[in-house]
């Protein structure tokens, strides 16, 4: 009968085991880093990422902002929701100039909408995202626009202007934009309200929308010209969905800014889209209608 002799198990030195583990971990991290960089380069709009970081988080590096972020953070597919016209199948026939004709900005860039979705990103939908959504819908309608990527807060700081005078900061950016892009004709300042959800929301066919209000500063001597433009666009909105319009509100005198940079140009508009208790999804539905109304108004 054969005798079996147990072979002595060879033990690897402890330092080699640790070294191999470290090598494997580093390889995985390197691979992930390469994949993330490839993803950013191929799929993300870096200008969009910069404006979100600069205005919302005070960063100057890239941050994930695209359809994936909206789907995971807000439960919505923003870029797959195409602009649809019930009266005209081709809104691009309205467009005369391929240069940007609309300048979209936010005097109060850090104001936030409600985020009812809880996830690992922990990202708040700031007002600048409304500007970016509107830009996308305008693009679908054939209208080129510019979203302000500079920080109003930084402009205020650099010019030693108090935050309560934020319109002076956005005025500087307005001037810069117009001087750089002579094709610009319309200037839209998007803001949000601090009123209750009931005041800033309407329901149409059991679907919730963020309401729109137009603000006209009566301390501007030419405010009637601004009012006429906003009334024209609001009329187009009411033709599409009268539910979302809160109409035109005149503000001036003690306790109000009263001008809102509307003395800069007759086509400067201040539009309040929803409020702090509205979700970005409700804002998205409203901005889709606003883009269509703008396209129809400009075409007309």
**Domain residues of the chain, as ranges?**
9-43, 46-299
Q: Does residue 174 contact residue 181 with C-beta atoms inside 8 Å? A: no
Cβ burial 242-277 (10 Å sphere, 16+ → b, else e): ebbbbeeeebbeeeebbbbbbbbbbbbbbbbbbbbb
How do beta strands 186-193 and 268-275 pair? parallel
Q: Give the integer Cα–Cα distance in Å for 140 and 94.
A: 12
Sequence-ordered strand ranges (E) for 76-172? 102-105, 145-147
Percent helix, strand, coil in the chain, to 5, is 45, 15, 35
- What CATH number has the domain spanning 46-299? 3.40.630.40
pLDDT one-digit tens code per residue, 55-96: 444 433 333 344 444 444 444 544 434 443 334 444 444 454
Residue 93: its pLDDT value, please? 45
Chain center to CA of 295: 19
- Can you tell me the distance from the alpha carbon of 272 to that of 268, in angstroms, rounded to the nearest whole number? 13
Neighbouring CB atoms inside 10 A of 116's CB total 11
Query: For 28-48, how does the pLDDT look when each residue is reduced to its tens digit (9 = 90+)?
Result: 888 777 776 666 555 444 444
CB 224 within 8 A of CB 218: no
CB distance 163 to 156 below 8 Å:
yes
Phi, psi of 98 (to 5 degrees): -85, -10
Helix axes 280-299, 128-140, angle to 10 degrees: 50
Give me the pLDDT at residue 59, please.
38
> For the whole model, what pTM was predicted?
0.71
**Cα distance between the two ends of the chain:** 104
Residue count of the chain, please give it. Answer: 300
Handedness of CA 270, 274, 277, 279 (dihedral sign): negative
Give pLDDT tens digits along the chain (300 positions).
Answer: 555 555 555 566 777 778 788 888 888 888 777 776 666 555 444 444 454 444 444 433 333 344 444 444 444 544 434 443 334 444 444 454 579 999 999 999 999 998 876 554 556 789 999 999 999 999 999 999 999 989 999 999 999 999 999 999 999 999 999 999 999 999 999 999 999 999 999 999 999 999 999 999 999 999 999 999 999 999 999 999 999 999 999 999 988 889 999 999 999 999 999 999 999 999 999 999 999 999 999 987
174: closest CA among 255, 256, 53, 269? Answer: 269
What is the distance between the alpha carbons of residues 290 and 300, in angstroms, rounded to a whole number?
A: 15
């Amino acid at each position: 009968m054969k005798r079996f002799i147990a072979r002595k198990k060879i033990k690897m030195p402890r330092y080699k085991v640790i070294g191999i583990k470290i090598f494997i971990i580093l390889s995985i991290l390197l691979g992930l880093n390469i994949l993330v960089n490839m993803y950013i380069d191929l799929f993300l709009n870096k200008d969009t990422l910069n404006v979100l970081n600069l205005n919302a988080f005070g960063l100057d590096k890239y941050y994930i902002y695209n359809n994936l972020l909206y789907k995971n953070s807000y439960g919505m597919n923003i870029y797959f929701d195409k602009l649809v016209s019930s009266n005209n199948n081709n809104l691009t026939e309205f467009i005369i100039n391929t240069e940007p004709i609309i300048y979209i900005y936010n005097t109060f860039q850090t104001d936030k909408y409600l985020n009812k979705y809880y996830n690992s990103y922990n990202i708040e939908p700031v007002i600048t995202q409304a500007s970016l959504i509107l830009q996308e819908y305008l693009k679908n309608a054939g209208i080129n626009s510019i979203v302000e990527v500079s920080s109003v807060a930084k402009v205020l700081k650099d010019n030693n202007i108090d935050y309560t005078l934020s319109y002076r900061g956005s005025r500087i950016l307005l001037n810069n934009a117009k001087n750089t892009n002579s094709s610009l004709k319309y200037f839209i300042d998007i803001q949000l309200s601090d009123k209750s959800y009931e005041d800033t929301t309407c329901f149409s066919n059991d679907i919730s929308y963020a309401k729109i209000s137009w603000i006209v500063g009566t301390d501007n001597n030419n405010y009637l010209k601004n009012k006429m433009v906003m009334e024209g666009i609001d009329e187009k909105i009411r033709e599409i969905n009268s539910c979302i319009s809160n109409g035109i509100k005149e503000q001036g005198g003690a306790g109000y800014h009263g001008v809102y940079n509307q003395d800069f140009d007759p086509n400067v508009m201040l539009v309040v889209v929803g409020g702090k208790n509205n979700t970005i999804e409700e804002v998205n539905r409203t901005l889709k209608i606003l883009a269509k109304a703008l396209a129809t108004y400009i075409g007309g």
